Each structure stands twice: as structure tokens, then as C-alpha cells.
Structure 1
Amino acid sequence: MTEFQIDDEYKIFQEKETGIWHYKKNGVILPKKVEKAFKFYSPSSYNIDSLQNSYFHLSNPSSFNDPFDCNFNLIESSEDLKKINEMTTVKRNNTSNLGVVSMTEVIDNHLMWAHYTNNYCGFVLEFNGKEISVIPNEDQTIGGTFIKVIYLKKLIKVKKEYPFAIQHMLRTKLKHWEYEQEWRFITFLGPKRDRILRYDPGKVKGLYIGYQMKDCEPSAYETVLKIHSLLYPRIPIYIVKPHPTKLELYFESLKQF
């Protein structure tokens, strides 16, 4: 097999020269890299700590708000078909040896700010998507890839024998999630099963703070400003809020000192 038609929009095909599998959407090859990647955070103490100590939390897909994301049922095998009548519950996407960091290529989406920063009470980090890297740790991770999520009108199963089956399971979501424009860093965990993955703070390119953070989370707001001045003094910092006269978000540059 050198190509597979997923639905009327998406197709997977194999490049003859390299053997690499690519995704196409409406005939256009999906990019392997993104110019800018943004990580949204709520104002929890855990997220403030990750900012201060420059690390990502590698999520288990079982914690995702979409139960069909990374769901085992996206891969079909003859064994699955034999057992399907015996199943009393839907297979859940609990993958103890898998870690995922979800990011996005958009910063000005109103829903993202509402859903993932606690209604503009959190913050966002900007990375150069072409330079995303982590501090290697052989005991912690086994390989890793940074890929663009695809959004289908209807979830499609692929056979277990297909060489792209695992990737299909890890990057496929339903169409109504498309507003997220998600990219995700995916890695399999090493022997320690440690879900704290450190990154190079020098790769952070910008810090964005929701306009309500100062009022709804004042201590977190002050802490984020202190962390910026100590660890990231050279990167720009913005307050994100509704534009006073236009129906769009406004990014106000914040000069601390």
C-alpha cells in the first residue's frame, strides 16, 4: 500500500524516494513544521511552577477532554472484531507509556482563551515551532515527534497492519475541534515514566497574559511578572484583551520596568 483515502478531504500517501508517509488535505500536503506554536495555560499553581522551572507536563490521553482523542478504537484488528460483542464498556484512551504536549498555531482565537486560560485569567507561551526541543533524558523519553492534528467529519478506523495506524490514532480528532488548530509533541515514556519534560527556556519567544488575570488571580499575576523579569527578560510580554473599538483581540505590549 502506498496511499490510503481517509475521507473526502484527507488522504495518506507514501513518498517513494524516502518511504515517509504524508497527509494531504484537499490535495495539499500538510506541513511538517509550523512557524509559531503557542501553549495555553490556566492560572493554576502547577502551571506557574512549570513556567518558573521551564518544563512541559506530558499528559496521558486519558485526561483529555475528548474521550475519542487517541482512542484505541481508531485502530481496527481482526482480534478486536472477534471480541467486540464481549465488550461491556468503550475502550478508553489510557496510555500509561505515552506523553503528549498539546499546542496550537493560533493565538487570537477567542474560544482558546476562554476554554484554556480560565476565561482570560491565564497565560500563553510562544515558541518557534521549527525550534521546539527538549532537554534529552534517556530514562524519560523514547523518541518524539511534533505533528499537526487532523480533523475528520466522521472518525474512521484503520487496520492495525497499516504502517501509519499508530500515527492515525494519535493525531485524529473530530471536525468540531478544528478551531484549536492543534499541534502536538508526542513521545513514549522511558523506564522512569516521568511526565515532567524540561525545555530550553531560550526557545521561548513571547509571553501573553489574559486581561482578567490581574483581577481574578492577582498573586499569580505578580508571580508571572517576576518570573518574566528573572528568567525571560528579553522576550516580549503582552496583555491580551478585547480591542476597544474593533471586534477582535488586542495585544498590548507590557513594559514592566
Structure 2
Amino acid sequence: MPEPTMTCRSIACDNEFPRRTLRCPKCMAYGVQHLYKYRKFSERTLDILRKKQLYFPTAEKLNDPFEFEFALTSDRINGLPIDRESMAAAKQSMKQYGVLALGEDPSVVLMWSHYADEHKGLCLGFTRTDTNELGEYDKSYPVIYSAALPTFTPEQLTDPQHVGKALTTKADYWSYEQEWRMISREGGNAIEFPGDLTSVTFGFRMPDAQRKQVIAILGDSVDYFVTKMHATMYRLDVEPIANVGNA
């Protein structure tokens, strides 16, 4: 399965490069510069903002039962049958890895519906830079979407490149999420923000009192936005909040 790529957004450049590369190698224009975390409003979310930490749930606790699944081209390795119990144990061990999932777009209606309490939550915006983990080529990965499981030979089970594809491939019916992920060998842990928190977008159904709690924690350290239902299209617009005191 090929690595996701993108075409440079600069008008004067049509270079194609790996999507996870922060800048176009040809003209140095930014590629995907911002990633987003949808959250429902809760005390846990407020704690995330206070501590500036994000949680890596284990893969087995995510909502996709196919997380980290893969297929092999043969049930034998070096001529010997693969022990099914050992393979099952290896897969279960992989499902204890931690996954931090982020998205590319703060205006996806289904993301607000599924992960931000039906538009009553918020969306945290992080900026990828040359000096943080989100901007590092080998730390954050755009998900590969496919109709088929990643498939490789039994001998490739020890190849990090092939195993990495198993960790970052999902069914194509999840493609609306435009997901990126960071992987940790130890799930169930929290880490410091891997990128700079630069924006917060409030869902249009979020109560004013809850917005004010968020603003009280973050102050003017971020830019604030709010979603708005478009008047004639099935879409959300994201509009800046000029005066957070009146948010």
C-alpha cells in the first residue's frame, strides 16, 4: 500500500511529496501544518488543557475492531507451520500499543457528531513545526485507507516498514476522519502536547458557560473559533471569535 502523498499547495509549485513531510522539498511551502483533536466537554478535557497532556489509549480500546489487523500470504514461515496461538499472542501484544489519533480538518460534521458530543464539545488545534514531534517525519503518520487488510509475507513480520503499515492502515469507510496518528509502545499513558496548541474551536451547541471555563484556563494563548451551520449547504463553517470575553 503506497504512502499517502500530496501535491504542493503553492501556486508556483506542483511538486508531489509524502503527506507526512512538513514542507515541500522543492519550494519549502508548508504541507499539512495543523492537526486537530475532537473532544467532548468534560472534566477530563479541562484537565488535558491544564496539564497540557494528551492520552494514548491502547489500540484494543479504540472503536475500530480491525485496529492493527493484517493478513499473511502464507501460514508457513521458513517451511514450518506458523503457530496460531503465538500469532494471536503477538497480535494481542501489538494491540497494547498506544495510539494518539488526530485529524486534518476542524469542520467535519461526522467528527463533531461522533467525538465531540454531537457538537457540544470542542476541537483542539495543534501546529506542526520543525521543532516538535508532530512535525517530525518519523513521529506522526497520516493513516492509509484501504478496502483490504495490509498483507505481507510471514518473513516480513520482523520488518518495521511492513509492521508500521499494519499500525497505520484502516478501512476506507473511515476515510472521512482524515486521521493522523502517533504510536507509543506503551498504551494507557499521557504525554506532553506533541505540538503547540494554537487554536480551540467550539461546537455551535456548546453552552456559553462551558466555553468560558475553557477560556479561563487558556486565556489569550490560543485563537478561538466557533462552528456555524451553513445556510444553504450541508457543511459547517469555522468562524473566528473576535472578542473571547463575549464567547
TM-score (norm 1): 0.71
* CA displacement at 1:171 relative to structure 2: 0.3
The runs of 5 or more residues in structure 2 that have no matched partner are 7-15, 22-31
RMSD: 3.3
Q: Distance in 1 between matches of 2:88 and 2:191?
A: 36
Change (3 A) 1:207 1:131: farther
Deviation for aligned residue 1:167: 0.2
Q: Is the 8 A contact 2:4 2:19 kept in 1?
A: no
- Partners of 2:128 and 2:199 in 1: CA distance: 12
Instruction: Report what 2:120 is aligned to.
Output: 121
C-alpha separation in 2, matches of 1:35 and 1:86: 41
Counterpart of 1:95 in structure 2 is 95
1:32 equivalent among 20, 24, 34: 20
Q: Aligned pair in 2 of structure 1 residues 184, 226: CA closer, same or farther (>3 Å)?
A: same
Q: Which whole-Å CA distance do the structure 1 matches of 2:49 and 2:211 have between them?
A: 12
Q: Provide the C-alpha distance between the structure 2 equivalents of 1:156 and 1:180, rounded to a whole number of angstroms.
A: 19
Distance in 2 (alpha carbons) for counterparts of 1:87 and 1:161? 13
Query: How many pairs are equivalent?
Result: 215
Partner SS state of residue 145, structure 1: coil
TM-score (norm 2): 0.74
Alignment-mate amino acid for residue 203 of structure 2: G
Percent of pairs with identical residues: 23
- Structure 2 counterpart of 1:137: none
Are residue 51 (structure 1) and residue 49 (structure 2) matched?
yes
Q: 2:198 aligns with which of 181, 205, 210?
A: 205
Separation in 2, partners of 1:197, 1:25 = 28
Q: 1:179 aligns with which of 150, 169, 176?
A: 176
Partner AA of 1:208 in structure 2: T
- In structure 1, the gaps of 5 or more residues are 1-9, 12-22, 135-143
The answer as to whether partners of 1:70 and 1:93 remain within 8 angstroms in 2 is no
- In 2, Cα distance between the equivalents of 1:104 and 1:132? 20
CA shift digits 1:13-57 (9 cap, x unpaired): xxxxxxxxxx2679x653223221111111122122111210010
Give 1:192-231 correspondences, 5 Å limit.
195-199=189-193, 203-214=196-207, 218=209, 220-229=210-219
Other-structure match for 2:236: 249
Compared CA separation, residues 169 and 102, structure 1 to 2 (3 A): same
* Cα distance in 1 for residues equivalent to 2:150 and 2:37: 28
Q: Is the 8 A contact 1:67 1:92 kept in 2?
A: no
